[in-house]
């Protein structure tokens, strides 16, 4: 069995290191999970022991409050305006402000906590309703985000989208702050669980799919093009782009964004094992 850390660290792959945020801050870790529906979900999905809880950032009061004040001022101008142009601007602002309030309300209702357990995770909305998923069924899309200042690259970070086995989005990027804290922990847990499963399937002669990339014991097929593993010279990641480099060929078998490949880190570890073995 190949360990989950078999894949070497490369550019574009989140480092498997969990750094705890300061207590009391958005994204901070808290103690044991709540009772009731959460406990029932933990027992039903057999998630095991609770590990950490990360809290969503609450923007209910500050941002809408500021916009509400600005909206009231502009509405007053629009009502007393002598021409239709200012009235139209007022109507547009009304629509934008209403949409924003609905969006903030939905975001805060939908996401309140991210709780990690031994065998999976739970996303809890603000009304305490949990959605659970085990590590062996979780789909993670990892996006590499470049940060520029005056066209100069200052660094990279990672954003994660979490989906259940039925394709339902459990967590959108940007809702739970500080993904550098919880993202690598999820990445490690999914790899540790799903890599042995993928290896066992391949050894049985089955094909394992990662979006548009299919992996079998002897070959890899990427978006319609195939090559045997003994011809794959390198599996590289640079700037969030995956490349499968084929020996004696000028162009790689494929070059795709990491974010397009579900559970990319599992694929990467599996590909390195099959390529080198």
Residue 156 has pLDDT above 90, yes or no: no
Question: How far does Cα 104 stand from its chain's mean position?
Answer: 20
Most confident option among 54-68, 93-107, 202-216: 202-216
C-beta separation of 160 from 138 below 8 A: no
Residue 91 has pLDDT above 90, yes or no: no
* 136: confidence class by pLDDT, cuts 50, 70, 90: very high
For Cα atoms 223, 247, 276, give the angle at the middle one, nearest 5 degrees. 85
* SS3 category, 208: strand
Query: Rounded to 10 degrees, what is the CA torsion of 35, 38, 41, 42?
Result: -70
C-beta separation of 33 from 115 below 8 A: yes
C-beta separation of 123 from 47 below 8 A: no
The 8-class DSSP code of residue 9 comes to: P
* 248: confidence class by pLDDT, cuts 50, 70, 90: confident
Write out pLDDT tens, residues 106-132.
444 456 899 999 999 999 987 888 999
Question: How far does Cα 157 stand from its chain's mean position?
Answer: 12
This prediction has a pTM of: 0.72
- Which of 59-63, 84-88, 216-220, 270-274 shows the lowest mean pLDDT across its residues? 59-63
Q: Which residues contact 71 (CB under 8 A, 6 or more apart)?
A: 93, 94, 97
Residue 23 has pLDDT above 70, yes or no: no
Q: Which residue has the higher pLDDT, 238 or 183?
A: 183
Predicted pLDDT of residue 250: 85
Alpha-carbon span 19 to 108, nearest angstrom: 25
């Amino acid at each position: 069995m190949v360990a989950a850390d078999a894949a070497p660290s490369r550019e574009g792959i989140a480092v498997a290191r969990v750094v705890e945020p300061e207590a009391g801050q958005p994204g901070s870790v808290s103690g044991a999970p709540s009772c009731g529906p959460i406990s029932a979900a933990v027992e039903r999905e057999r998630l095991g022991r609770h590990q950490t809880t990360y809290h969503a950032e609450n923007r209910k009061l500050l941002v809408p409050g500021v916009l509400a004040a600005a909206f009231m001022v502009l509405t007053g101008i629009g009502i007393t305006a002598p021409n239709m142009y200012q009235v139209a601007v007022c109507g547009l602002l009304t629509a934008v402000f209403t949409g924003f309030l609905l969006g903030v309300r939905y975001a805060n209702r939908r996401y309140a906590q991210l709780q990690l357990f031994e065998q999976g995770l739970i996303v809890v909305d603000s009304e305490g309703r949990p959605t659970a998923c085990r590590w062996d069924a979780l789909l993670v899309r990892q996006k590499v985000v470049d940060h520029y200042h005056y066209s100069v690259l200052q660094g990279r970070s990672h954003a994660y989208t979490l989906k259940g086995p039925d394709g339902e989005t459990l967590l959108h990027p940007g809702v739970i702050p500080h993904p550098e804290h919880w993202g690598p922990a999820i990445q490690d847990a999914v790899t540790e669980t799903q890599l042995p499963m993928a290896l066992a399937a391949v050894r049985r002669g089955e094909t394992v799919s990662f979006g548009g990339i299919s992996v079998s014991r002897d070959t890899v097929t990427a978006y319609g093009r195939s090559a045997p593993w003994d011809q794959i010279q390198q599996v590289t990641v640079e700037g969030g782009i995956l490349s499968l480099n084929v020996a004696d060929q000028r162009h790689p078998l494929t070059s795709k964004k990491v974010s397009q490949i579900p559970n990319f880190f599992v694929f990467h570890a599996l590909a390195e094992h099959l390529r080198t073995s």
